[in-house]
Structure 1
Amino acid sequence: MVQTKPLAPAAPAARLVEIDAEHDGQRLDNFLLRLCKGVPKSHLYKAIRGGQVRVNRGRVPVDYRIQAGDLVRVPPLRLPTQAPRFVPAGRFPVVYEDDALLVIDKPAGVAAHGGSGVAFGVIEQLRAARPEARFLELAHRLDRETSGLLMLAKKRSALVALHAMLREGRSTKKYYALVQGDFQNARQHIRLPLLKWTTKSGERRVRVDDAGLSAHTIVGACERYGGYTLVEAELRTGRTHQIRVHLAASGFPIVGDDKYGEDAVRDLFARRYGLRRMFLHAHSLALAHPLSGEPLALEAPLPPACADTLVQLRQGAARVPPARATDKDSA
């Protein structure tokens, strides 16, 4: 528990915060962002660099790693003069929960977090719904239009462990996607480097580029409907928009994708099948529990809009024999 000690009367508005074991090793700036909710980063950085924030009575850089037992001086910090932002409490289907980990089934159309024109997301809504939670942080992200399994840490020790597992590839995340085209391979490796860029309108995009970061996705056909295929994609790296760009670059854009898909196909599925979202769903997650090491195998079923679309496709398409179990590599 974070313990607050009063300062001498000469500085009544400042406070000393003693760091407990839960926050040991955390960056000072990140700790203050959670402690001083609503205060802009620029204000906090200015206070740290100006010496108003001190650790054990001394100046430290913004990236200083706080340690259990440290005394952090937190000066009075004013919130920006604007109306308070209302964040409605959000309640999402819980797939797994204990005292360290929370896994929910995120619906499509809800951002994982606020920012970039989004007032609030899953993390802000969950914090509003759980005001008693001392710690609640996203362990990873899902695109706004992607549904499915999303992990959150309820302890910092769990968050650090989850980040390490994801970074080192010690977890298996699988997605269902409906793609345009007759995808025939039961197992295909797509290794294409991805580079982030920004359009003239300020929209964030990703493209295949040799100057980008390495990215690896394994894709396999699950069911074929003539001109469309349900595929399962397994992430081996976790780049922004990775599955979407890898599939589009391979000639199989995801149905309903407003960034990398085809507008005519998106409009067709909205009119004919009532699908008004991108068909990408994080359905399976396998990993060891971040603290206990217990094996976890979690699943989230396809949302009704996606499941209904597949039923309609099955009714209207000639059945095609399953793909042969070949292992193809795209570089």
Structure 2
Amino acid sequence: MQSITLITKECVQEDGNDQRIDNFLFKRFRTVPKNHLYQLIRSGQVRVNGKRINASYRLQLGDMVRIPPVKIETKDAFNRTAITRANFFSFTTLYEDDAVLVIDKPSGMAVHGGSNISFGVIEQLRAQNPSWKFLELVHRLDRETSGVLLLAKKRNALVELHRQIREGLVEKHYLVLVKGKWQNAKQHVKLALDKYVTASGERRVAIASNAHPSSKPMSAHSIFKLDKSWGDFSLLDAEIKTGRTHQIRVHLAYIGFPILGDDKYGNFEVNKQLAKAEIGGRSKLTRMFLHAHSLQITHPVSGQRINLHSPLSSDLQKFIDGLDKL
């Protein structure tokens, strides 16, 4: 079965920074023959910032990639659903003005559509607000991560916010619950990361020294502070100085403190037990305990420093309440 994508434009985020355009396309269109994607590049149908590029072009943060219609082979069982009012999702808005939009992203929803995902946050918001001429993600959150998500409603706002990210002027904090008794009040982790794709097509990240031979190391810096602990569980505040794919998850797993509920890098036996057992008579944990709880930016228009905050989602709060009763 085939489906055809429409012409789209995608703004390059941190996880695509310095990535070759051909690899960028391979990741998004895994079922499309590579020679066809190369032909789209050579013919000028794929453009970056309105200009023709070659396959070795390395994308930069904020680049706008034009992706032409592409025929995608899909499984017969998969039917891409159209976005209609009947399946609109009601997002909680944390902040909004003419330049920026900040929402509280729920766990389980991807920030954008892709392989086996009909539509994500960005497609939903564009469909719900057809009068908006511009709307782009400023950064991304993993599908299972909940919390603060920042979007730009103007091109100049996007450019300015990306400048702040590049220059380390954006402060991002997450709440994360890990397996293990955390000892240090504050700990810096500076371990370079590599991205690669497994033989089955799954995107993975590893510490550079353990990475796939074809990947390229990226510097990564996380700061962890102990918030609270219960026996062999520890609640941490995680501040990321770099926004690499799966950064918090891989850093914590590598140093021996896997995130509870993490189905890629976590302790699978512990996850299985927590998904079954009632904790303190309150709640099971059936997803990854990672929540983007605060984001500080300088407003791209007013220049005012603003702090955006999302309370811990109800399912994670119930789990914490159960630990408090132990």
Q: Is the structural similarity TM-score above 0.5?
A: yes
TM-score under structure 2 normalisation? 0.73
Deviation per CA, 1:11-37: give whole Å up to 9, x if none: xxxxxxxxxxxxxxxxxx9xxxxxxxx
Q: Distance in 2 between matches of 1:79 and 1:253?
A: 38
Corresponding residue SS for 1:182:
coil
TM-score under structure 1 normalisation? 0.72
CA RMSD of aligned residues (A): 2.7
Aligned length: 258
Q: Distance in 2 between matches of 1:292 and 1:250?
A: 41
Q: Distance in 1 between matches of 2:257 and 2:72?
A: 48
User: What's 2:235 paired with?
Assistant: 230
* Bigger-Rg structure (1/2): 1
Deviation at 1:84, TM superposition (A): 7.9
Corresponding residue to 1:86 among 79, 82, 85: 82
Corresponding residue SS for 2:52:
coil
Corresponding residue to 2:287 among 257, 262, 277: 277
* Structure 1 residues 47 and 209: CA distance shift in structure 2, 3 A: closer
Q: Is the deviation greater in 207-216 or in 83-92?
A: 83-92
Unaligned runs of 5+ in 2: 1-20, 22-35, 55-67, 74-78, 210-215
The answer as to whether partners of 1:112 and 1:121 remain within 8 angstroms in 2 is: yes
User: What's 1:61 paired with?
Assistant: 52
Q: Distance in 2 between matches of 1:171 and 1:274?
A: 34
Corresponding residue SS for 1:237:
coil
How high is the sequence identity, in percent, across the aligned residues? 49
Deviation per CA, 1:277-304: give whole Å up to 9, x if none: 1000000111100122111011100011
The answer as to whether partners of 1:195 and 1:212 remain within 8 angstroms in 2 is: yes
Q: Is the deviation greater in 248-257 or in 260-269?
A: 260-269
User: What's 1:315 paired with?
Assistant: 325
Alignment of 1:293 onto 2:303: yes
Corresponding residue to 1:217 among 210, 222, 227: 222
Deviation at 1:89, TM superposition (A): 2.8
Deviation per CA, 1:43-98: give whole Å up to 9, x if none: 97576469xxxx9xxxx6359xxxxxxxxxxxxx9896999850243321000000
Alignment of 1:141 onto 2:140: yes
Corresponding residue SS for 2:225:
strand
Q: Distance in 2 between matches of 1:225 and 1:145?
A: 24
User: What's 1:157 paired with?
Assistant: 156
User: What's 1:132 paired with?
Assistant: 131
Corresponding residue SS for 1:220:
strand
Deviation at 1:276, TM superposition (A): 1.1
Corresponding residue SS for 1:184:
coil
Unaligned runs of 5+ in 1: 1-28, 30-39, 64-76, 317-331
Q: Is the deviation greater in 163-172 or in 248-257?
A: 163-172
Deviation at 1:200, TM superposition (A): 1.8
Corresponding residue SS for 1:252:
coil
User: What's 1:189 paired with?
Assistant: 188
